[in-house]
Structure 1
Amino acid sequence: MTAEPSAPTTPRPGARPYPLVVRTTAIDDLPGGPAALVDLLPDARPLTWVRRGDGIVGWGEALRLDTWGPGRFADAEAAWHETLERAVVRDEVGLPGTGPVAFGSFAFDDSAPGDDAHEPVRAGGTLIVPRVVVGRREGRTWLTTVDTAGSLSSPPADVADVLARTPRTPVGAPGDITWRDGALGADDWADVVREGVDRIRAGALEKVVLARDVIAHTTEPVDPRWLLARLAAAYEACWTFSVDGMVGATPELLVRSEKGLVTSRVLAGTIRRAGLSDDDALLRAAQLARSSKDLEEHEYAVASVAHALAPFCSSMNVPDAPFVLHLPNVMHLASDVTGVLDARGGGLTPDGPAAGPTSLALAAALHPSAAVCGTPTHLARDLIREIEGMDRGRYAGPVGWLGADGDGEWGIALRSAELSTEDPRCVRLFAGCGIVAASDPAAEVAESEAKLEPLRYALGS
């Protein structure tokens, strides 16, 4: 694990990072519109969590916490607690997302295939504390600035003052796009799905989620702000996110923890909507709501979330039946599982339970759910490693933010893409499908294409 502040003065080797100095003040509201927060971002390293125009965005890097392997969640939380113990905080607003905030992104699996398949590489996770955060919630807007004790600056008066101090690079379009297969082409991936169905029908497991990737090459460097603005405007019902090069608009909320209440939005069971009239969409939604294959897939996902949350909650509400969530490209069966947190324990620390479960601890307990892995979880994960044929990286892993009080929001990195760290003109897009005994490989390929649509659109394709 590393914990290094990005300050002009670097601590001596072995020294603890400088304490953070955090200041949050109320500011005038921003212009309306779902992309108003995204439009503030001054450079191509954005940190974003926005839905329906509310949320938080950040830029700069006051502190970065990197962790690896099976202990990546617990190590990140322990490092966050240590950071907060030494932080100096003045929060004049007191809303979720004010004060110290860390944006986070974590790998789907504990390890990833290395050059030697017998020696996998430890997969990681990252928490990033921005130097500037702007947030909006229910008509209230705030500004948070973060310095390190070794590099204090005078507090800005407002967002305009902050932006005046930060050079802004123009947002450019990615230009023309060419596409190529990722780890597997569509036909080969259909064979993988077929193998998954065969294993399920043989009784090896009940459900497995299999994913594929495609690669986009652009003529101009890809600016994530271009993608974020288009996603925020077109997919208002989703959580538009950007953390450390992982960008997307996820419809699935892994967990929200706020003042003792916890919510998880579970999605499983999908049907394509793009190109349908409103009347046809309603007919297809009714078909989805009656589909035994999709209801079976959804039931596994809801049960896995309820089972994982139960130890943390004193009471829970699990809906008897899902509703149909309408998005521009697809429709999903959806259920909102809610609960009241038990404050007696459940957080992640190296020495045992914390005073209460944090949002990151809940995300770690929920991940991976049946919605992105399968049922039973351990068997599905083993099968994914065996037949899927690609490294998911942070696709389908937790992504979101964590506050000083442990509350926060974590989505699942779906409808997402990863920007290459080596080639700014290369983007890797992901899509996955839940496979059960009744799944048809050709239909799953078509569903995966529908799930790639948001990022294809965001790129301008």
Structure 2
Amino acid sequence: MSTAAHQVATHRPLTEPAHPAVGAATALLDTYSPDARFLATPTRTLLTRGELRAVPQGDAPVAERVTGALAESGGSLVIGAIPFDQRAVPALVIPETVHTGPPLAADPLIALPADPPRAASWDIRPDPAPEVYAQGVAAAVDRMWQGEFSKVVLARTLVLTSEDELDIAGVLQRLARRDPSGYTFAMPTAPGRTLLGASPELLVSRRGSLLVANPLAGSTPRSADLAEDVRRAAALLHSAKDLHEHAVVVDAVHQTMAPYCSKIDVPVRPTLIRTATMWHLSTTVTGVLSGPETSALEIACAMHPTPAVCGTPTDLARTVIRETEPFDRGFFTGMVGWGNAEGDGEWVVTIRCAEAAGRSLRLYAGAGVVAASDPAAETAETGAKFRTFLNAVGAEL
């Protein structure tokens, strides 16, 4: 038996044990190193190493290329990231070895605190500057009032540079232990580059015939004061601007999922979810898949980009993004996840993320801009979203 065949044969099944062992999930987190791929979701924890085959670039849809790569390699799953622009080169591989554990939130040891960030002097460069970002938001609002489009998601970045090597494993520990119920990931995207993040947003998952999507749109920063935190959450639930923004995204998700489903359920009103730094309006859309031939990745690619990360109408919003943002989004607002040969999988919106390279981190944060948006408020929202990573590396604006 070849080495590759032996490695495939020893892959662990993607099922959750009825009584997961204490420490099973955190052991995978603890053994992560930057040459591995790590993904923790509310259903499982994955750690993979090596690659039997990289999913190639090509003219065929990425889901078709993944299906071909799985069949040719004999691998059990694909894992990695897809850029915001699906035509760009993906960072998807069929790994050599796969270790699977229960979700982090089910492991009592996840409550143990991570080591604090090492003392470091960070040089922080905004790209663009906050005032330039606010000007871009104001220009977009003016165009919306003129009827050109109804929403665009505009992002800004922070480039953090240190004199010391980045402690990627330590950053991942702090991200995972701060929000263990979310989607935490660390994926190589190119030699010497790692995509890290802790996203709250599921694009779509499939398990058998069950499809689940969890669009988020409409956000407000959290407060350290309990009374103020509750007030902000209640205000978000009743914000006409945020409820409208959220409804547009949910409708887009519904319209995209419906052709694949024999049954679909869309709640009438959103609920709230929270991360360590933000409140979000959330709707869980569920559906029953019409046929087994459609994979989670195929549906994810059909849904991406939703108005939550791009805007409405999509093509015009893309143009506004290219005209306004002075950087290439790369994998930011793309998707990250896993899928298997049976079509099951989980694909997550790549937000609350950064890309590490050498001694630098580029942090990304965006905000949904609609006609009622206030440039200062949207700038403040992106600043609050940066806190996820700033806290993880011990930096402050």
Once the two structures are TM-superposed, the CA of residue 307 in structure 1 deviates from its matched residue by: 1.2
Quote the residue 2:112 is aligned against: none
Residue 109 in structure 1 maps to residue 99 in structure 2: no
Structure 2 residue aligned with 1:85, among 71, 80, 87? Answer: 71
Quote the residue 1:178 is aligned against: 122
Q: Would the aligned equivalents of 2:37 and 2:80 in 1 still touch at CA under 8 Å?
A: no
Q: Would the aligned equivalents of 1:248 and 1:415 in 2 still touch at CA under 8 Å?
A: yes
Once the two structures are TM-superposed, the CA of residue 356 in structure 1 deviates from its matched residue by: 1.7
Q: Would the aligned equivalents of 1:174 and 1:218 in 2 still touch at CA under 8 Å?
A: no
Query: Which ranges of structure 2 fall in alignment gaps of 5 or more residues?
Result: 107-114, 189-193
Quote the residue 1:92 is aligned against: none
Structure 1 residue aligned with 2:98, among 133, 136, 141? Answer: 133
Quote the residue 2:89 is aligned against: 124
Q: Would the aligned equivalents of 1:105 and 1:394 in 2 still touch at CA under 8 Å?
A: yes
Q: 1:129 to 1:438 in 2, by over 3 A?
A: same
Distance 1:316 1:196 in 2: 34
- CA-to-aligned-CA distance 1:45-100 (integer Å, 9 cap, x gap): 231111359321112233222326xx47x2x4333323333455xxxxxxxxxx71
Residue 254 in structure 1 maps to residue 241 in structure 2: no
Distance 1:257 1:52 in 2: 13
Residue 375 in structure 1 maps to residue 351 in structure 2: no
Residue 38 in structure 1 maps to residue 29 in structure 2: yes
- CA-to-aligned-CA distance 1:382-429 (integer Å, 9 cap, x gap): 111122222101100011111121110000110000112xxx101100
Quote the residue 2:389 is aligned against: 455
Quote the residue 2:215 is aligned against: 266
Q: Would the aligned equivalents of 1:431 and 1:448 in 2 still touch at CA under 8 Å?
A: yes
SS in 2 for 1:427: strand
Distance 2:181 2:117 in 1: 24
Q: 1:443 to 1:197 in 2, by over 3 A?
A: same
Q: 1:246 to 1:316 in 2, by over 3 A?
A: same
- CA-to-aligned-CA distance 1:328-355 (integer Å, 9 cap, x gap): 1010011011111111xxxxxxxxxxx6
What does 1:113-262 correspond to in 2, within 5 Å?
123-137=88-102, 175-244=119-188, 245-262=194-211
Quote the residue 1:313 is aligned against: 261
Distance 1:25 1:373 in 2: 37
Greater Cα shift, 317-326 or 381-390: 381-390
Structure 2 residue aligned with 1:65, among 49, 52, 55? Answer: 55
Once the two structures are TM-superposed, the CA of residue 212 in structure 1 deviates from its matched residue by: 0.5
SS in 1 for 2:143: helix
- CA-to-aligned-CA distance 1:132-159 (integer Å, 9 cap, x gap): 22112379x9xxxxxxxxxxxxxxxxxx
Aligned amino acid, residue 49 of structure 1? L
Aligned amino acid, residue 82 of structure 1? G
Distance 1:394 1:444 in 2: 22
TM-score scaled by structure 2? 0.87
Quote the residue 2:191 is aligned against: none
Aligned amino acid, residue 31 of structure 2? L
Q: Would the aligned equivalents of 1:51 and 1:232 in 2 still touch at CA under 8 Å?
A: no
- CA-to-aligned-CA distance 1:10-49 (integer Å, 9 cap, x gap): xxxxxxx9997332357995543874421122x3223111
Q: Would the aligned equivalents of 2:25 and 2:45 in 1 still touch at CA under 8 Å?
A: no
Q: 1:86 to 1:33 in 2, by over 3 A?
A: closer
Q: Would the aligned equivalents of 2:69 and 2:94 in 1 still touch at CA under 8 Å?
A: no
Structure 1 residue aligned with 2:245, among 283, 297, 300? Answer: 297
- CA-to-aligned-CA distance 1:245-265 (integer Å, 9 cap, x gap): 111000000010110111111
Structure 1 residue aligned with 2:374, among 430, 435, 440? Answer: 440
Q: 1:138 to 1:448 in 2, by over 3 A?
A: closer
Distance 1:396 1:402 in 2: 19
Largest Rg, 1 or 2: 1
Q: Would the aligned equivalents of 1:35 and 1:233 in 2 still touch at CA under 8 Å?
A: no
Aligned amino acid, residue 272 of structure 1? P
Residue 100 in structure 1 maps to residue 76 in structure 2: yes
Q: 1:273 to 1:33 in 2, by over 3 A?
A: farther
Quote the residue 1:145 is aligned against: none
Aligned amino acid, residue 152 of structure 2? V
Q: Would the aligned equivalents of 1:359 and 1:408 in 2 still touch at CA under 8 Å?
A: yes
Q: Percent identity?
A: 35
Q: Would the aligned equivalents of 1:173 and 1:222 in 2 still touch at CA under 8 Å?
A: no
SS in 2 for 1:181: strand
Aligned amino acid, residue 83 of structure 2? A
CA RMSD of aligned residues (A): 2.7
Q: Would the aligned equivalents of 2:12 and 2:100 in 1 still touch at CA under 8 Å?
A: no
Q: Would the aligned equivalents of 1:44 and 1:223 in 2 still touch at CA under 8 Å?
A: no
SS in 1 for 2:332: coil
Q: Would the aligned equivalents of 1:174 and 1:220 in 2 still touch at CA under 8 Å?
A: no
SS in 2 for 1:242: strand
Quote the residue 1:393 is aligned against: 330
TM-score scaled by structure 1? 0.76
Greater Cα shift, 127-136 or 364-373: 127-136
Q: Would the aligned equivalents of 1:34 and 1:233 in 2 still touch at CA under 8 Å?
A: no
Aligned amino acid, residue 102 of structure 2? R
- CA-to-aligned-CA distance 1:279-310 (integer Å, 9 cap, x gap): 32222111110001111111111111111111
